[in-house]
Chains A and B, each alone.
Chain A
Amino acid sequence: MLEVRNLHAYYGKSHILQGVDLDIAAGEVVSLLGRNGVGRSTTVKAIMGEVPPQGTIRFKGQDIAGLPSHKIARLGLGYVPEHRDIFPSLTVRQNLILGIKDPRRPGKWRLQEMLDMFPNLARRADTPAGVLSGGEKQMLTTCRTLLGDPELMMIDEPTEGLAPLIVQQVGELIARIAKAGVAILLVEQKLSIAMKISNRVYIMGHGRVVFEGTPEQLKSNAAIREEWLEV
């Protein structure tokens, strides 16, 4: 479904991505792991066109490298950015409404369904989203992207700065999305959720992919974990 070949990206003069290759099949859950600053977030930003990409990015067979992000989103690629980017002055409900791409053609997810799933959001449906806690913001932004009916969702660091109990809830939500048949590219630093729900994992180091395999293969490969993940 998503095919990335020899992807390069720069921030000013620094060469951040140095030839990233990755593949995600329909319905697959894939995690992109690695230490801070190895280019995981830049990879998804380059795919969405937020950082100018060089190389090949194909989504459902169509070349999307450098397309404006709204066109990429409309092809069915959802993106939940690292800092959650909720619209703080809009209410929770209005935030969710903006996730719907075309109100005349509703997708398979319903706004009410999202509110039923998260009583905390439902209770605050009509308050400005800026007052939500970190975990609630993560649920909100994930639900918002889900309402756009993506076939593949790229979720960047969803558990960053969250308490262990909330991390577990975020994990459950992602597992639920995956069960509904949506492919997921999960960018994470922690292994906990990634190892539990992924079909495959990639590990990045120095701007390229340094390991690709199943969670079991990673578990049994202490050398790789030590070299590229452990601090």
Chain B
Amino acid sequence: MAELIVISTLNGVLFGMLLFLLSSGLTVIFSMMGVLNFAHASFYMLGAFFGYQLTRWIGFWPALVLAPLLVGAVGMAVERYGLRNTHKHGHVAELLLTFGLAFAIEEIVSMIWGKSPVDYRVPAALDFPAFTVFSTNYPAYKIFMLVVSVVIFIALLVTLKRTRVGLIVQAALTHPSMVGHLGHNVGRVFMLVFGVGSALAGLAGVIAGPSLVTQSDMAAFLGPILFVVIVFGGLGSLPGAFIASLLIGLIQTFAVALNGSLASVFGPLDPSLGASPLTDIWNVTIAQIAPILPYLLLVLVLIFRPMGLLGTRES
């Protein structure tokens, strides 16, 4: 049991930090532009595929730096030439643009790399067990992922709180037009934030790719969980996104690891009752319902606290 707790906590925090790499960008972009970027998880997928391709050409370490930069450039282009032009037609147009973009990226990725998983492997330098907890070898690569996420998290925090650009971004979250009246180019700040947000999603893809599966449906798989995270944390709240990321990461990881069911707690149902829907409910394990837990949480949050954990707006 202790082993399960230690391993699941490590894995949960890791998954949570990965989610935060994605949700931080998404929630800041939402705050600034008032638009939920449906294509955000697609940038994560692009990161994984760019990482895979660049690793084959120039090796993992250069790819780790280059792939997120490429994804960031794609993101900036999307803002500059796509969103900025649709902005004047209102939020629905912007939303549809990101929605269409998500499908387009998925199709393009499967045209280039196919629909089956690509062989994106953990680099040899990190392919060893970092330490052994009880009987489980914990892979060094996962520790590496954790370190990268934490470093990025700290860098993000310092940039936002301690630099001039960070101040401008924070101010533009609530009063973009006033920031413009003070002589700061808000359009460029938006493009930069969109670029950095996409690059962070790309980085998450590069480092998660070898550990999870790099496949053309990975965006569609992660996207909905991402929305749960930012709605749960409160749209536009960075601390909220952080707490929600960790929480969802831990909940999912623990749920998958637990095999408990009502039957294992209260004993099997009396066989004389026969087979009924109740038997199914009685025997379903926590691991089996793990995938729906985030959405259940989403529904509960929307009913009882629509603005999310730390959000301020009602929407």
Contacts and interface: CB of A to CB of B under 8 A. Distances in A.
Interface stretch (B35-43, B169-177, B215-223, B257-265): B169-177
Interface string B171-193: 10011011111111111000000
A155 interface: no
Given A70-B183, A70-B185, A73-B183, A89 B174 contact: yes
Looking at chain A, what size class is its interface with the partner chain?
20 to 34
A68 B171 contact: no
Contact of A98 (B174, B177, B184, B185): B184
Given A69-B177, A89-B174, A103 B164 contact: yes
A70 B176 CA distance: 11
Nearest to B161: A94
A98 B186 CA distance: 13
B122 interface: no
Contacts of B133: none
Given A70-B185, A97-B164, A103-B164, A87 B171 contact: yes
B177 to A, nearest CB: 6
Interface string B289-313: 0000000000000000000000000
Interface string A68-88: 111001100001010001011
Contacts of A99: 182
Interface of B is mostly: helix
Given A69-B177, A85-B175, A97-B164, A90 B170 contact: yes
A48 interface: yes
B181 A81 contact: yes
B180 A148 contact: no
A8 interface: no
Contact of A70 (B170, B171, B175, B186): B186
A130 to B, nearest CB: 10
A85 B183 contact: no
A73 B178 CA distance: 11
Given A50-B177, A87-B174, A87-B175, A73 B167 contact: no
A144 interface: yes
Contacts of A145: 181-182
A58 interface: no
A101 interface: yes
B286 interface: no
> What 6 A-B pairs come out closest when comparing CB atoms?
A73-B183, A85-B178, A69-B180, A87-B171, A101-B183, A79-B181
16 contacts: A48-B181, A50-B177, A70-B183, A70-B186, A73-B180, A73-B183, A85-B175, A87-B174, A87-B175, A90-B171, A97-B164, A98-B182, A103-B164, A145-B182, A148-B182, A148-B183
